[in-house]
Amino acid sequence: MTNRNLAPIDESAPMFRARGLTKVYRMGEVEVHALRGVDLDLYAGEFVVLLGASGSGKSTLLNILGGLDAPTSGEVESGGHVLSGADEEALTRFRREAVGFVFQFYNLIPSLTARENVALVTEIAQAPMRPDEALALVGLGDRLDHFPAQLSGGEQQRVAIARAIAKRPAVLLCDEPTGALDSTTGVRVLQALERINAETGALTVVITHNAVIAQMADRVIRLSDGHIVGIERNAARVPATELAW
Amino acid sequence: MRALHHKLWRDLAQLRGQVLAIALVMVGGIGMMVMALTNYDALSTTRALYYGEYRFAEVFAQTKRAPLALLEAVRAVPGVREAEARVVAAVNLEVAGYDEPVTGQLVSLPGPGDPGLNRLFMRVGRLPVADDEVVIGEAFAEAHRLAPGSRLTAVINGRRQALTVSGIGLSPEFIYQIRPGDLVPDFARFGVLWMARESLARAFDLDGAFNDLALTLTRDAREEDVIDALDALLAPYGGVGAHGRELQLSHRFLDEELAGLRVMTRMFTVIFLGVSAFLLNVVIGRLVSAQREQIAVLKAFGYSRWDVSVHYGQLVLSMVSVGIVPGLALGAWMGQGLARLYMTFYRFPFLEWSLPPWVFAAACGFALGAAALGTVGGLARVFRLSPAEAMRPEAPPVFRRTLTEWLGFGALVDPAARMILRNLERRPLRSLLSVVGIGLGVGILVMARFQAGAIDYMMGVQFGFAQRDDLMVSFTEPASARAAQELAALPGVLAVEPFRNAAVELRHGHREYRTALQGLPAEGGLRRVLDRELVPIAPPREGLLLTDYLAELLAVRPGDVLEVAFLEGHRRTVAVPVVGVVSEYVGVGAYAERGYVNRLLGEGEALSGAWLAIEPEARSALLRLLRERPRVGAVTDRLAMMESFSETLAQNVLTFTLISTLMATSIAIGVVYNTARITLAERGRELASLRVLGYTRNEVRALLMGELATLSVAALLPGFALGVGMAALLVHGFQSDLYRIPLVFTPGGFALAGLVVLAATVVSALLVRRRLDGLDLVAVLKTKE
């Protein structure tokens, strides 16, 4: 299933370039140091797994890459746009045009059907797929008019993926996409991601604390306590169907 | 339709209970506002039209008897545009089949050469042609089922004269047809009749003379100057002082009503706007918390802060607009009802009640105002919420030991009560506002019941303590002591207490006030003046007693000296000390000992009339006898007055209480139900966890109900205080020299207010109970925080 030719890694021009990222935020009465100086390059088309334990800072990193959050210090740029320090309008435009998100708890709008959840994004995108097309891509062509509450966890996550890819984003950021799912359902979701990565060529970043998933990546980046502690390139990607945990 | 719109409608459907609760309050608020605004508009516009078309005069003057030739001099007064000389007289009337004493005011109609002020609107029939023909007022005609051709008898100057009704009419001068000195109109016992000038003048021996003037002024005239000039001109002819519209009885009552409507509009609008805003604030606040992640997702996918805020703004607008149309409908319904009620009191040829477009705008303004006040904070949170932060769960709320626990009462309450208290104390502002909101409901009820109670109290004081006579007889002319003796000799009369009244102008510095100086018998028991503790005060041998409100108007205190200018008799002006103030709720007056008044007047022992105590069974026979006595001008029946007073007010008070109860209940339910829903939404997990831990359904219910009950009970005292405050505001807004409503409260009023609000709490609690019982224990624990 691996087809490196379809997603060539362009070593020369990274899609994301991050230098010296730190992030400190307050939560209630506690100060949390989520990132403590992260340097990172991510390239178009590659499938990257960010591996780390809970609290290692991987979600924060993903949020900053996706323009959801601003670093306390350091720099991030993407395709020539400096994200760190950009204003809310610029970040919104960046997210609207370039980024697709998939969250651990799907974060579907419960009051909208599968189709409407996807439409939410296609309505504001520039050259999107049709919602039913995106849902067909994740194997949900027959559940268009179901509300989230009528779908299983795996189905909900696939709706979330359809929602993320429907705008044909340059980058797909997935935060623990299988975290709330059992192994079989999780694999089905990963298959969908794998297929999207292959077919659309979107840079796909998957956060997980599940080391098994790392096997399907081009590169695995390990985070611990706000630092990158290792970057490995897999010699060969293991197809999602062969994963189990 | 766009996906966000789908979300909008489905969110609304989800929130329907709360949306309805808010709408309930908004409907009440808009309804009250529309009712008051439309009627204010209808009354003031109709009055202005009526005044204009039927040429209501601007200045009025009464004299004893002035020659018609004086009219030229009056017309020559700078500032006078038109002047009309009239004959106006009080008469006793007899209507076939009606035994009670009826008094009437006969007013002359303009003659051919007159400018035609205070013109009549003829409902049916025609103007009088023959000497014995009269036009009668519509209200009086309705009360006695009189029609053109009906006959009645007037006792004019002691002579009985048969009159024929030629038509039924209305006059801008008598929109409110009330007997001077009365508080509410009694259409059966007081009527206005119009007669041709010549006929009336002849009947009152006023041929070639007049006793009443109506004037209009030029545009640049100064009313005070004209009044001064008129007073000077009329003084030799027994002028009792000219005045402008502001002292014209019908105009004054209408002004008071309009002022009352203004007070009511403001008060209710503020209350309902505040409560609606608060409810919206809580609901939207909760919604934003609950949808943090949805907001984050929308932003994550590239919806701008404005897009998302506008979406929630639309949600708010949809919520508030739910109340607009029903509110307008309620307002229109109540407004028309009130207009109908007004039509029975205020006699216009037409009352143009309408729902003008600006009222719709006002209703929308109300909704927008509530939305803006209540949700700006919540929408700002939506705007500011950073998507990454929103993806993280909210920090757990910080709990501290509560005030009660710090104070050392912690040991006294069980854990459940402690949870309730901590929850309420954790959001002090919201709890406080809930208490204030429920308190406003309590307050509105207290205020409504206060009106009823206060009027009962006024009645009790007026008719139980002050006016204890059965009949009041006024003589047509000041009479000698023999007149009183004659009254005493009539069968069935138990006691006679004669009095002397004189029209006076009281002056103190630059302040002046025209009223009647009443000379009371030295040792009377039928009509008494009371101090603030309702203890009767005997009239002093020398000096005056003033109604407290009049003393304030004139800025005098006991010990000060007033200038008293008599507007009758020798028209003396004397300096008289004020020796005390008396407490009165209706009208304002000056009182002195009868002999003292006569000495001041420079007259011998003259009497204006007498108060009578009679045997109840002799009443009808006595009334008949009195009617036939030529010197007896008017007979006022205390019993009849009390009856008409209660009848009229009972209807109004009932309507007002009903409306207020509805309003208060809508507020109480709105606040309590929303509090319950929000508490359930915020703490459903916690409550479900307790159930999992083995708490029974009843114990969990007790937690939620306990919170609601705590809020409602806590709202009672502040609510009572708010009610007292609103009543004080109302009393202050309504006080005038016509009447003052005493600020007295009955325990029953407070009890009722408390009970209604507690009942509303129970109803709200029952409404959420189903949801509470239906908590899905497993599902609640499975979903993430």
Reported as a single tens digit per residue, the pLDDT across B130-170 is 989 999 999 999 999 999 999 999 887 777 889 999 999 99
Closest Cα of chain B to A66: distance in Å?
A: 8
- Eight-state DSSP code of residue B88: E
Average pLDDT over residues B417-422: 76
* Structural domain that includes position A212: 44-71+87-242
Which positions in chain A have a beta carbon within 8 angstroms of at least one beta carbon in chain B? 25, 27-29, 59-60, 63-64, 66, 68-69, 88-89, 92-93, 95-97, 99-101, 103, 105, 107, 109, 111-113, 116-117, 119-121, 123-125, 163, 167, 175
pTM attached to this predicted model: 0.79
B780 has a pLDDT exceeding 70? no
Average pLDDT over residues B569-576: 89
Q: pLDDT tens-digit profile of B314-347?
A: 999 999 998 899 999 999 998 998 888 888 889 9
- Eight-state DSSP code of residue B423: H
Q: What average pLDDT is seen over chain A?
A: 87
* B318 and A CB contact within 8 Å: no
- Is there a contact between B11 and A124 if contact means CB atoms under 8 Å apart? no
- CA distances to B34, B224, B659 from B39, rounded to whole Å, are 8, 32, 16
Q: Give the phi and the psi of residue B537 in degrees, each rounded to 5.
A: -110, 130
Between residues B777 and A211, the one the model is more confident about: A211
CATH number for the domain spanning A213: value is 3.40.50.300
Domain-embedded: residue A185: yes
Neighbours of B485 (CB within 10 A): 11
Closest Cα of chain A to B754: distance in Å?
A: 40
**Euclidean distance between CA atoms B473 and B628, whole angstroms:** 13
Q: pLDDT tens-digit profile of A54-73?
A: 888 888 899 899 888 889 99
- Is there a contact between A95 and B398 if contact means CB atoms under 8 Å apart? no
Q: pLDDT tens-digit profile of B266-278?
A: 888 888 888 899 8
Closest Cα of chain A to B30: distance in Å?
A: 31
Domain-embedded: residue A29: no
- Eight-state DSSP code of residue B15: T
Helix (H, G, I), strand (E, B) or coil at B746: coil
- Is there a contact between B296 and A116 if contact means CB atoms under 8 Å apart? no
pLDDT at B631: 80
Give the containing element (helix H, strand E) for B732.
Answer: helix B697-734
User: Which chain A residues are closer than 8 Å to B2 by Cβ?
Assistant: 119, 123
Domain-embedded: residue A28: no
Is B757 in contact with B442 (CB distance < 8 Å)? yes
* B7 and A CB contact within 8 Å: yes
Domain boundaries, chain B: 1-58+252-393, 59-251, 493-614
Give the containing element (helix H, strand E) for B507.
Answer: strand B493-508
User: Which chain A residues are closer than 8 Å to B396 by Cβ?
Assistant: 28
- Is there a contact between B395 and A111 if contact means CB atoms under 8 Å apart? no
Q: What average pLDDT is seen over chain B?
A: 87
Residue of B nearest to A95 (CA): B302
Side-chain-side CA neighbours of B542 within 13 Å: the count stands at 6
ipTM here: 0.79
Q: What is the crossing angle of helices B292-300 and B249-290, to 10°?
A: 70
Domain-embedded: residue A152: yes
Q: pLDDT tens-digit profile of B733-760?
A: 778 777 788 888 888 889 988 998 889 8
**Count of domains in chain A?**
1
Domain-embedded: residue A184: yes
Side-chain-side CA neighbours of B753 within 13 Å: the count stands at 33
Structure token pair of residue B549: 């409100």
A4 has a pLDDT exceeding 70? no
* B383 and A CB contact within 8 Å: no
**Euclidean distance between CA atoms B549 and A153, whole angstroms:** 77
> CA angle at residue B563 from B562 to B569, to 5 degrees?
130
**Euclidean distance between CA atoms B712 and B424, whole angstroms:** 12
- Is there a contact between B389 and A66 if contact means CB atoms under 8 Å apart? no
Is B436 in contact with B652 (CB distance < 8 Å)? no
Torsion-angle region of residue A85: left (phi > 0), alpha (psi -120 to 50) or beta?
left
